[in-house]
Amino acid sequence: MKQLQLGVFGSAFDPPTRGHLDVIRQSASHFDSILLVPSASHAFAKKMQSFEHRIAMLQAFMEALGNVGCHLELCFIEAELLKKAPDQPVYTFDVLSALEAQYCEDIAISFIRGPDNADPQVWHSFYKARAIERRWGIFTAQQQVSARSSQVRALMAGQGPGEVTHKLLAPLLLPTVSDYILRNGLYLEESQ
C-alpha cells in the first residue's frame, strides 16, 4: 500500500500572503494533504498579531484558494503544545514529533519550508535542524512570488485608517485577507 504524503507548512501567517500561496502551489503536487500550522509561540520570539486574528486571516485565505491540487487543512497542534508548556517556545521539531505520534505508519510526514527558512543561516538556527533533515522529508519552495508578511506590515506601519487601500495591498494579499485586515484595522500604527 502506498504511503500517504503529508506536508506540514508552519508559519506565523502574520498575515498569510501571496508568497504563502506560492509555497502551497509549489508543494501541492508532492503531497496528498498539507497542514497549515500557524505559530502559537514563535521560537524566535517574533511579535505577532493575536492567534485569533491570524487564524481568522488564515481561514479567509483558505476560503479564497479554491482547488490547489491537494487537500489543505488548518492544524492547531502548536496551540495544543503551547497549552502543555505555556512558558516554552514551540519548535518545528516538536510539532513534527507530535504529528508523527498522531498519525499512523502509512503516512509520510515532510516539512515544507519557504525560501526564507531555507536560507542556510536561518535554517541552521532552527532547533534540531539536522535531526529534522534526518527524520522527516523536507520540501523547499523556491521564491517565485515576492510577497512577504513583513512587506505588508511595513506598508501598513504608520498609516491611519483609510490610508491603505485594497489596490495597494493587492500585489501582496488575497482580497479576502486584505478585507479582514482593513475591516479590523490590523497592523496600523505599528513600527518595524
The DSSP letter of residue 96 is H
| Residue positions counted in the chain | 192
**Cα Rg, the chain, nearest whole Å:** 17
Average pLDDT across the chain, whole number: 91
The confidence score (pLDDT) of residue 66 equals 85
**Looking at the domain assignment, is residue 165 inside a domain?**
no
Cα–Cα distance between 142 and 136 in angstroms, integer? 19
SS3 97: helix
pLDDT band at 43 (very low <50, low <70, confident <90, very high): low
pLDDT tens, 45-86?
678 999 999 999 999 999 999 889 999 999 999 999 999 998
Residue 37 in grid coordinates: 500550522
**Looking at the domain assignment, is residue 73 inside a domain?**
yes
- List the domain range (segments joined by +) for residue 96: 4-145
**Looking at the domain assignment, is residue 76 inside a domain?**
yes
Asked whether residue 191 carries a pLDDT value surpassing 50, the answer given is: no
Residue 98 in grid coordinates: 507530535
The residue with cell 504524503 is 5
**Looking at the domain assignment, is residue 24 inside a domain?**
yes
State how many domains the chain has: 1
The confidence score (pLDDT) of residue 181 equals 95
SS3 120: helix
**Looking at the domain assignment, is residue 153 inside a domain?**
no
Task: Give the pairing type, strands 33-38 and 4-11.
Answer: parallel
Q: 46, 9, 37: which is closest to 140 by C-alpha?
A: 9
Asked whether residue 15 carries a pLDDT value surpassing 70, the answer given is: yes
pTM higher than 0.75 for the full model?
yes
What DSSP string runs through 24-72?
HHHHHTT-SEEEEEE-SS-TT----S-HHHHHHHHHHHHHHH---SSEE
pLDDT tens, 85-105?
988 888 999 999 999 999 877
User: Could you give the residue ranges of the DSSP H alpha helices within the chain?
Assistant: 18-28, 51-65, 77-84, 92-102, 115-118, 120-123, 129-135, 149-156, 166-169, 175-184
Asked whether residue 42 carries a pLDDT value surpassing 70, the answer given is: no
Those residues with Cβ within 8 angstroms of residue 50's Cβ, 6 or more apart along the chain or in another chain: none
CATH number of the domain that residue 51 is part of: 3.40.50.620
**Looking at the domain assignment, is residue 170 inside a domain?**
no
The confidence score (pLDDT) of residue 172 equals 97
**Looking at the domain assignment, is residue 97 inside a domain?**
yes
**Looking at the domain assignment, is residue 101 inside a domain?**
yes
